[in-house]
Amino acid sequence: MSALADKVIFLTGGAAGIGKACALAYLRAGAKVAVMDKDEDALKDLENEISRQLLCAISGSVTSGEEVKAALEKTVATFGKIDVIHNNAGIANPSKPLDQTTDEEWDNLFDINLKSVLRTTRYGIGHLKKTKGCILNTSSMVGGIGQENHAAYVATKGGMSALTKAMALDYAPFGVRVNAVCPAGVWTPMLRKWSAEQPDRAGIEQYLDNIHALGYCPEGDVIADVAVFLISDAARFVTGCVMPVSGGAELGYKK
Protein backbone atom coordinates (compact mmCIF):
# COMPACT_ATOMS: atom_id res chain seq x y z
CA MET A 1 0.00 0.00 0.00
CA SER A 2 1.18 3.54 -0.74
CA ALA A 3 2.58 5.44 2.24
CA LEU A 4 -0.16 8.09 2.19
CA ALA A 5 -3.09 6.11 0.78
CA ASP A 6 -6.44 7.70 1.68
CA LYS A 7 -4.76 10.69 3.37
CA VAL A 8 -6.02 14.23 2.74
CA ILE A 9 -3.38 16.93 3.09
CA PHE A 10 -3.88 20.68 3.37
CA LEU A 11 -0.69 22.41 2.21
CA THR A 12 0.05 26.14 2.31
CA GLY A 13 2.49 27.70 -0.13
CA GLY A 14 2.39 24.57 -2.22
CA ALA A 15 2.40 25.94 -5.77
CA ALA A 16 6.18 26.31 -6.16
CA GLY A 17 9.53 25.44 -4.63
CA ILE A 18 9.64 23.09 -1.65
CA GLY A 19 5.86 23.22 -1.37
CA LYS A 20 5.33 22.01 -4.92
CA ALA A 21 7.89 19.24 -4.45
CA CYS A 22 5.97 18.13 -1.37
CA ALA A 23 2.61 18.30 -3.15
CA LEU A 24 3.88 16.09 -5.96
CA ALA A 25 5.49 13.65 -3.52
CA TYR A 26 2.28 13.43 -1.49
CA LEU A 27 0.28 12.68 -4.61
CA ARG A 28 2.74 9.99 -5.71
CA ALA A 29 2.42 8.45 -2.25
CA GLY A 30 -1.35 8.11 -2.68
CA ALA A 31 -2.72 11.23 -0.98
CA LYS A 32 -5.22 13.82 -2.06
CA VAL A 33 -3.91 17.36 -1.66
CA ALA A 34 -5.44 20.79 -1.19
CA VAL A 35 -2.94 23.53 -2.00
CA MET A 36 -3.50 27.07 -0.74
CA ASP A 37 -1.30 29.68 -2.41
CA LYS A 38 -1.61 33.35 -3.31
CA ASP A 39 0.20 32.87 -6.64
CA GLU A 40 -2.71 32.17 -8.96
CA ASP A 41 -0.55 31.58 -12.04
CA ALA A 42 1.56 28.98 -10.22
CA LEU A 43 -1.62 27.32 -8.97
CA LYS A 44 -2.95 27.07 -12.52
CA ASP A 45 0.31 25.55 -13.68
CA LEU A 46 0.08 22.99 -10.88
CA GLU A 47 -3.52 22.17 -11.81
CA ASN A 48 -2.46 21.52 -15.37
CA GLU A 49 0.04 18.91 -14.14
CA ILE A 50 -2.30 17.04 -11.83
CA SER A 51 -5.67 15.32 -11.95
CA ARG A 52 -8.43 17.55 -10.59
CA GLN A 53 -9.75 14.52 -8.69
CA LEU A 54 -6.60 14.47 -6.55
CA LEU A 55 -5.87 18.19 -6.25
CA CYS A 56 -7.91 21.04 -4.81
CA ALA A 57 -6.23 24.35 -5.73
CA ILE A 58 -7.25 27.27 -3.53
CA SER A 59 -6.21 30.86 -4.12
CA GLY A 60 -5.72 32.76 -0.88
CA SER A 61 -3.34 34.33 1.60
CA VAL A 62 -2.27 32.81 4.91
CA THR A 63 -2.30 36.33 6.36
CA SER A 64 -6.10 36.27 6.33
CA GLY A 65 -7.89 34.24 8.97
CA GLU A 66 -11.07 34.25 6.94
CA GLU A 67 -9.30 32.98 3.83
CA VAL A 68 -7.54 30.24 5.78
CA LYS A 69 -10.83 29.18 7.37
CA ALA A 70 -12.57 29.14 3.98
CA ALA A 71 -9.73 27.13 2.44
CA LEU A 72 -9.93 24.49 5.16
CA GLU A 73 -13.70 24.30 4.77
CA LYS A 74 -13.34 23.89 1.00
CA THR A 75 -10.85 21.07 1.55
CA VAL A 76 -13.32 19.21 3.76
CA ALA A 77 -16.17 19.89 1.33
CA THR A 78 -14.06 18.51 -1.54
CA PHE A 79 -12.40 15.51 0.11
CA GLY A 80 -14.51 14.85 3.22
CA LYS A 81 -11.79 15.26 5.87
CA ILE A 82 -8.29 16.54 6.65
CA ASP A 83 -5.55 14.22 7.90
CA VAL A 84 -2.57 16.56 7.64
CA ILE A 85 -1.89 20.28 7.74
CA HIS A 86 1.49 21.20 6.27
CA ASN A 87 2.44 24.79 7.10
CA ASN A 88 4.89 25.58 4.31
CA ALA A 89 4.06 29.15 3.26
CA GLY A 90 6.87 31.57 3.97
CA ILE A 91 9.07 34.41 2.79
CA ALA A 92 12.74 35.25 3.45
CA ASN A 93 12.90 38.95 2.59
CA PRO A 94 14.22 41.40 3.60
CA SER A 95 17.90 40.54 3.77
CA LYS A 96 18.92 42.94 6.55
CA PRO A 97 20.40 43.05 10.04
CA LEU A 98 17.94 43.79 12.83
CA ASP A 99 18.58 47.53 13.25
CA GLN A 100 17.88 48.13 9.55
CA THR A 101 14.61 46.15 9.56
CA THR A 102 11.46 48.28 9.51
CA ASP A 103 8.43 47.57 11.66
CA GLU A 104 6.45 46.75 8.51
CA GLU A 105 9.06 44.27 7.29
CA TRP A 106 9.26 42.59 10.71
CA ASP A 107 5.49 42.34 11.04
CA ASN A 108 5.06 40.98 7.50
CA LEU A 109 7.62 38.21 8.05
CA PHE A 110 6.01 37.14 11.30
CA ASP A 111 2.51 37.38 9.84
CA ILE A 112 3.33 35.05 6.94
CA ASN A 113 5.92 32.74 8.45
CA LEU A 114 4.62 32.26 11.99
CA LYS A 115 1.17 33.69 12.62
CA SER A 116 -0.09 31.67 9.67
CA VAL A 117 0.43 28.57 11.84
CA LEU A 118 -1.88 30.08 14.43
CA ARG A 119 -4.54 30.52 11.77
CA THR A 120 -4.32 27.05 10.25
CA THR A 121 -4.30 25.46 13.71
CA ARG A 122 -7.14 27.57 15.05
CA TYR A 123 -9.42 26.59 12.18
CA GLY A 124 -8.00 23.15 11.43
CA ILE A 125 -7.26 21.40 14.71
CA GLY A 126 -10.85 20.22 15.10
CA HIS A 127 -10.57 18.31 11.83
CA LEU A 128 -7.25 16.76 12.87
CA LYS A 129 -8.67 15.63 16.22
CA LYS A 130 -11.35 13.73 14.31
CA THR A 131 -8.84 11.92 12.12
CA LYS A 132 -6.01 11.74 14.70
CA GLY A 133 -3.95 13.41 12.05
CA CYS A 134 -0.78 15.46 12.18
CA ILE A 135 0.81 18.83 11.51
CA LEU A 136 4.07 19.41 9.65
CA ASN A 137 5.85 22.77 9.75
CA THR A 138 8.53 23.88 7.30
CA SER A 139 11.17 25.50 9.48
CA SER A 140 14.83 26.15 8.62
CA MET A 141 18.27 25.32 9.95
CA VAL A 142 18.93 29.04 10.35
CA GLY A 143 16.44 29.08 13.21
CA GLY A 144 18.98 27.08 15.19
CA ILE A 145 22.34 28.20 13.85
CA GLY A 146 21.62 31.77 12.70
CA GLN A 147 22.26 33.57 9.43
CA GLU A 148 23.80 36.96 8.77
CA ASN A 149 21.66 39.75 7.33
CA HIS A 150 18.38 37.86 7.86
CA ALA A 151 17.55 38.67 11.49
CA ALA A 152 13.77 38.77 11.22
CA TYR A 153 13.61 35.65 9.06
CA VAL A 154 15.85 33.77 11.49
CA ALA A 155 13.60 34.86 14.34
CA THR A 156 10.52 33.48 12.60
CA LYS A 157 12.18 30.12 11.94
CA GLY A 158 13.53 29.86 15.47
CA GLY A 159 9.99 30.53 16.61
CA MET A 160 8.65 27.89 14.23
CA SER A 161 10.95 25.22 15.66
CA ALA A 162 10.10 26.10 19.26
CA LEU A 163 6.39 26.32 18.44
CA THR A 164 6.50 22.84 16.90
CA LYS A 165 7.57 21.38 20.25
CA ALA A 166 4.93 23.30 22.19
CA MET A 167 2.21 22.21 19.79
CA ALA A 168 3.37 18.60 20.00
CA LEU A 169 2.78 18.66 23.76
CA ASP A 170 -0.57 20.44 23.49
CA TYR A 171 -2.06 18.06 20.93
CA ALA A 172 -0.50 14.73 21.91
CA PRO A 173 -3.46 13.95 24.23
CA PHE A 174 -5.68 14.03 21.13
CA GLY A 175 -3.44 11.72 19.13
CA VAL A 176 -2.30 14.59 16.89
CA ARG A 177 1.42 14.62 16.08
CA VAL A 178 3.36 17.82 15.27
CA ASN A 179 6.78 17.82 13.60
CA ALA A 180 8.97 20.11 11.49
CA VAL A 181 11.43 19.76 8.64
CA CYS A 182 14.53 21.98 8.69
CA PRO A 183 16.20 22.52 5.32
CA ALA A 184 19.41 24.50 4.85
CA GLY A 185 19.85 25.64 1.22
CA VAL A 186 17.42 24.27 -1.36
CA TRP A 187 17.24 25.17 -5.05
CA THR A 188 13.85 26.82 -5.49
CA PRO A 189 12.74 29.41 -8.06
CA MET A 190 13.23 32.09 -5.40
CA LEU A 191 16.80 30.99 -4.64
CA ARG A 192 17.68 30.66 -8.33
CA LYS A 193 16.41 34.19 -8.99
CA TRP A 194 18.41 35.54 -6.05
CA SER A 195 21.61 33.74 -7.08
CA ALA A 196 21.29 34.97 -10.67
CA GLU A 197 21.17 38.55 -9.43
CA GLN A 198 24.46 38.28 -7.53
CA PRO A 199 27.63 39.81 -9.05
CA ASP A 200 29.57 36.54 -8.65
CA ARG A 201 26.99 33.96 -9.66
CA ALA A 202 29.45 31.07 -9.88
CA GLY A 203 30.85 31.97 -6.48
CA ILE A 204 27.38 32.04 -4.95
CA GLU A 205 26.54 28.61 -6.37
CA GLN A 206 29.80 27.21 -5.01
CA TYR A 207 29.05 28.75 -1.62
CA LEU A 208 25.60 27.14 -1.58
CA ASP A 209 27.18 23.78 -2.35
CA ASN A 210 29.87 24.24 0.29
CA ILE A 211 27.57 24.97 3.23
CA HIS A 212 26.30 21.40 3.00
CA ALA A 213 28.67 18.75 4.33
CA LEU A 214 27.46 16.36 1.63
CA GLY A 215 28.81 18.81 -0.93
CA TYR A 216 25.84 20.09 -2.90
CA CYS A 217 22.75 22.26 -2.63
CA PRO A 218 19.75 19.97 -3.29
CA GLU A 219 16.42 20.29 -5.04
CA GLY A 220 13.16 20.26 -3.11
CA ASP A 221 12.64 16.52 -3.58
CA VAL A 222 15.00 15.70 -0.68
CA ILE A 223 12.78 17.71 1.66
CA ALA A 224 9.63 16.17 0.21
CA ASP A 225 10.84 12.61 0.79
CA VAL A 226 11.37 13.29 4.49
CA ALA A 227 8.05 15.12 4.69
CA VAL A 228 6.27 12.05 3.32
CA PHE A 229 7.82 9.96 6.08
CA LEU A 230 6.96 12.40 8.88
CA ILE A 231 3.28 12.61 7.94
CA SER A 232 2.93 8.88 7.26
CA ASP A 233 2.01 6.12 9.68
CA ALA A 234 5.64 4.99 9.55
CA ALA A 235 6.34 8.00 11.82
CA ARG A 236 3.35 7.27 14.08
CA PHE A 237 5.47 7.49 17.25
CA VAL A 238 7.38 10.63 16.20
CA THR A 239 6.22 13.98 17.55
CA GLY A 240 7.94 17.20 18.53
CA CYS A 241 10.77 16.36 16.15
CA VAL A 242 12.56 19.21 14.37
CA MET A 243 14.21 17.17 11.64
CA PRO A 244 17.31 18.51 9.86
CA VAL A 245 17.23 17.80 6.14
CA SER A 246 20.34 19.78 5.48
CA GLY A 247 23.14 17.62 4.18
CA GLY A 248 24.97 18.18 7.46
CA ALA A 249 25.00 21.98 7.25
CA GLU A 250 24.39 22.26 10.99
CA LEU A 251 27.63 20.40 11.66
CA GLY A 252 29.64 23.41 10.47
CA TYR A 253 30.27 25.04 7.12
CA LYS A 254 33.16 23.55 5.18
CA LYS A 255 34.27 26.97 3.92
Q: What is the pLDDT of residues 68-90, one digit of tens each?
A: 999 999 999 999 999 999 999 99
Would you state the pLDDT for residue 253?
Answer: 55
Greatest pairwise CA separation for the chain in angstroms: 53
Average pLDDT, integer, range 140-159: 94
Q: Which CATH class is domain 8-186+220-251?
A: alpha beta
Residue 144's pLDDT band (boundaries 50, 70, 90)?
Answer: very high
**Rounded-to-integer distance, Cα 195 and Cα 92, Å:** 14
Q: What's the pTM value of the predicted model, to 2 decimals?
A: 0.95
**Rounded-to-integer distance, Cα 163 and Cα 167, Å:** 6
Would you state the pLDDT for residue 254?
Answer: 56
**Rounded-to-integer distance, Cα 177 and Cα 193, Å:** 35
Would you state the pLDDT for residue 255?
Answer: 53
Average pLDDT, integer, range 19-26: 97
Q: Which of 26, 123, 153, 171 is catalytic?
A: 153
pLDDT, tens digit (0-9, with 9 covering 90-100), for 44-68? 999 998 877 899 999 999 999 999 9
Active-site annotation holds for 216: no
pLDDT, tens digit (0-9, with 9 covering 90-100), for 160-202? 999 999 999 999 999 999 999 999 999 988 788 878 877 788 8
In sequence order, the 6+-apart residues with CB closer than 8 A to the CB of 232 are 3, 4, 7, 29
